[in-house]
Amino acid sequence: MTARADAAEAAHREAAVQPGLEPEDAALVARLVPPVPSPYHRLNPLTKAAIATAGSLAAIVVGGYPVPLLVIVAALVSAEIAGLLGRLVRVTVAVGLALAISIVLVSTLTRAGETVLFVIGPFDVTAEGVDFAAQTLLKVFALSLSIGLFTLTTHPRALVADLERRGVSSRFAFVALATIEAVPAMVRRAGVIAEAQRARGLDSEGGVVARARGLLPLVGPVLISAVTEVEQRSLALEARAFSRPGRRDLLWAMPDRGAERALRWIVGGVLLAVVLGHLGGLV
Amino acid sequence: MDWVRQQFDTRTIVLIPIAIAINIVLGQTIAAVLKIPVYLDSIGTVLVGALAGPIPGLLTGLLTNVLWTYVLPAPFNSTIAAPFAIVAAEIGLLAGLFARYGFFRSRPNTPWPTLLAGGTAVAAIFIIIGYFGFVPFYAGTDFTFFGDTAEASPFFVAMGYLVAIGFIAAVVGLGVVLLVRRDVGIAYASVAGLITGIVSAIISAPIAAVVFGGVTGSGVDLLTAAFQQAGSDLQTAVLQQGLISDPIDKTVTFIVVFLILQTLSRRFVARFPQGERIVGLEGAEEDVAGIPSA
């Protein structure tokens, strides 16, 4: 099975390369295409985005119990197909734990309601509060799982290349990709500056006041150095014809199939039906 | 449309990802480390709005929240950011408009009478907005502001005093900064921040209430819980919490951006589409050597 999976992945990556290249060049570009180890990974980025959007919108707009639970189950099943179930659950719990605790505390303890279950100090825990907390938790986890599945199975470059292939301006593509690279780069730069300042005697382990005082010598250089980089970068881009109007030829972009196009329309239709049904009082 | 395209030169397009990264890194750090009721995730948005214009500022805010939720991978991802994209967009838009009308311009060496007038005007604006804009929202609950405190719960009396002290500290702090730097431009920036904060609170309250039940997982949830406990319904509680956190947050953000703009070199700032209004070179379209600036 592994050999067949590898062959399918290799075939998909070759299909992503722009036609008309020499075989050696095509093989080289195929290596640049991000890995797609499972059938779910091999879906077109727009299809995965449509699924994630439909799932999260349905869960948020409709609320209640059945729809979010359905979305959660669908997301977990898809994660299993993608071979990412453990990772997705770990990431969702890590990201959503603080939010979940806040929701449970705020909603159960302070929300007004009639059927009091029990009393803790000055707070009444009501059945309405627990019900509201449960529904909100389901909404949040449905949202988080859908979007987490999308970000784990879609490489940012693949998404941006696909959008650019469909006609989104190359400047927007640049902004999206540059942002994705800039965030970890800024965190790394902050680390370097923190060490430099520590070598100059910045107190980084004191109490709250000491740390607050140390915030400016840390944040200041990060901000200023990041912003002044803009001048050099824009000159470099101008030298590479960045402001030339018109579209660019992409060396690779994820392929799209008729079946997936149909799937996207179906997903959109189901979402519309669910939302209208909810508004009309059916769901 | 030409006005819009003018705001999007190469420098702007390069600045936007860096500004988004600033937003996300700072916002994530503050939310994770300091459990204080401010967000500080709009510094980049306001910076782009001030330097490039209202439309790039709007786009930066929008993209920050959308990319933060939908595109950035695990450690930098946030579940709650996307629905608030419209609030972030509004912040960028207002920042651009305020910058267009000179609210970020440094006015150094202001003569003392003007300085005093500026400080008094800001204090007056804060107090008037505070009294007429805030207190009516809180009058329905036990929150009393120097009123009859005999019946109110001690928590809210303490909150009332804390907010009053916060207000006074802010006004005094502003006065000190005005005195030290002799730059009444800070007063303009803080008024712009206050107005933006109020607008943001009003727009974000219904979003928070509907999408997440009023909870965002950050330090502000304590405030929301307190207001709900005092008897407000969800919508009102979220609005009350917003009207405390957002103006503080946006005023601090606008002042920080004002200080950043002063720290950057004038040559660098002046080359951005709205840079000349910030540096104060309105009407000067060529630089000294007679070469038009990029």
- Cβ contacts from A onto B, under 8 A: 161
Q: What is the dihedral of CA B54, B60, B63, B64, to 10 degrees?
A: -140
Chain B nearest CA to A282, separation (Å): 20
**Is residue A272 predicted with pLDDT exceeding 60?**
yes
| Residues of A in Cβ contact (< 8 Å) with B7 | none
* Amino acid letter, A122: P
- The residue of B70, B216, B253 whose CB has the most chain A CBs within 10 angstroms, and thus the best one to mutate to test that interface, is B70
Query: Would you call A140 and B25 a contact, using CB atoms and an 8 Å cutoff?
Result: no
Task: State phi, psi for A244 to the nearest 5 degrees.
Answer: -70, 130
**Is residue A57 predicted with pLDDT exceeding 60?**
yes
Residue B151 has a pLDDT of 46
Query: Would you call A106 and B73 a contact, using CB atoms and an 8 Å cutoff?
Result: no
Residue B44 has a pLDDT of 93
Q: What is the pTM of this model?
A: 0.78
Query: Would you call A102 and B217 a contact, using CB atoms and an 8 Å cutoff?
Result: yes
- The residue of A151, A230, A234 whose CB has the most chain B CBs within 10 angstroms, and thus the best one to mutate to test that interface, is A230
Query: Would you call A148 and B211 a contact, using CB atoms and an 8 Å cutoff?
Result: no
CA separation (Å) from B59 to A157, B88, B101, B203, B284?
21, 9, 20, 17, 28
Q: What percent of chain A has pLDDT over 90?
A: 13
Q: Which of A85-94, A204-213, B10-19, B252-261 has the lowest mean pLDDT?
A: A204-213
Binned at pLDDT 50, 70 and 90, residue A79 comes out as very high
Residue B98 has a pLDDT of 94
* Cα–Cα distance, A274 to A57 (Å, whole number): 10
B247: three-class secondary structure by DSSP: helix
List the single residue in B with minimal CA-CA distance to A171: B13
Contact predicate B23/B45, CB 8 Å:
yes
Chain B nearest CA to A44, separation (Å): 15
Binned at pLDDT 50, 70 and 90, residue A72 comes out as very high
Instruction: Say which residue the tokens 């604006």 belong to.
Output: B125
* Cα–Cα distance, A94 to A96 (Å, whole number): 6
Residue A92 has a pLDDT of 87
Q: What percent of chain A has pLDDT over 70?
A: 94
Query: Would you call A227 and B229 a contact, using CB atoms and an 8 Å cutoff?
Result: no
> How far does CA B230 lie from the centroid of its chain?
28
Task: State phi, psi for A173 to the nearest 5 degrees.
Answer: -60, -40
* Cα–Cα distance, A271 to B114 (Å, whole number): 60
What average pLDDT does the segment A59-88 reach?
90
Residue B147 has a pLDDT of 45
Instruction: Say which residue the tokens 């693949």 belong to.
Output: A158
CA separation (Å) from A140 to A61, A93, B9?
12, 11, 39
Query: Would you call A230 and B215 a contact, using CB atoms and an 8 Å cutoff?
Result: no
- Higher-pLDDT residue of A86 and B80 is A86
**Measured between CB atoms, does B146 come within 8 Å of chain A?**
no
Domain boundaries, chain A: 2-40, 45-157, 168-239
What average pLDDT does the segment A38-42 reach?
89
B183: three-class secondary structure by DSSP: coil
**Measured between CB atoms, does A250 come within 8 Å of chain B?**
no
**Measured between CB atoms, does A226 come within 8 Å of chain B?**
yes
User: Would you list the DSSP string of B53-102?
Assistant: -HHHHHHHHHHHHHHHHHTS-GGG--SSSGGGHHHHHHHHHHHHHHHHTT
Chain B nearest CA to A143, separation (Å): 7
Q: Which of A140, A183, A220 sits opposite B24 (nearest CB)?
A: A183
Interface of A with B in 205-224 (CB under 8 A): 219-220, 223-224
CA count, 13 A, side-chain hemisphere, B125:
18
Residue B210 has a pLDDT of 79
**Measured between CB atoms, does A144 come within 8 Å of chain B?**
yes
* Cα–Cα distance, A216 to A220 (Å, whole number): 5
Q: Which helix (H) or strand (E) holds A118?
A: strand A116-120
Q: Which of A49, A102, A150 sits opposite B221 (nearest CB)?
A: A102
A172: three-class secondary structure by DSSP: helix
Segments in chain B below pLDDT 70: 30-37, 74, 129-171, 217-219, 231, 281-294
CA separation (Å) from A81 to A34, A53, A74, A75, A85?
18, 19, 11, 10, 8
| Residues of B in Cβ contact (< 8 Å) with A107 | 213, 215
A23: three-class secondary structure by DSSP: helix
Structure tokens at A81: 């197909």
Residue B164 has a pLDDT of 62
* Cα–Cα distance, B67 to B20 (Å, whole number): 9
Structure tokens at A32: 């640049």
Contact predicate A146/A55, CB 8 Å:
yes
Q: Which of A64-73, A156-165, B23-32 has the lowest mean pLDDT?
A: B23-32
**Measured between CB atoms, does B259 come within 8 Å of chain A?**
no
Q: How many residues does chain A have?
A: 283
Interface of B with A in 45-104 (CB under 8 A): 47, 63, 67, 69-74, 76-80
Chain A nearest CA to B123, separation (Å): 26
| Residues of A in Cβ contact (< 8 Å) with B20 | 175, 179, 182-183
Tell me the per-residue pLDDT of A234-245, one tens digit each, with 9 for 90 and over: 888 888 888 887
Residue A241 gets which letter from DSSP? T
**Measured between CB atoms, does B22 come within 8 Å of chain A?**
yes
**Measured between CB atoms, does B133 come within 8 Å of chain A?**
no
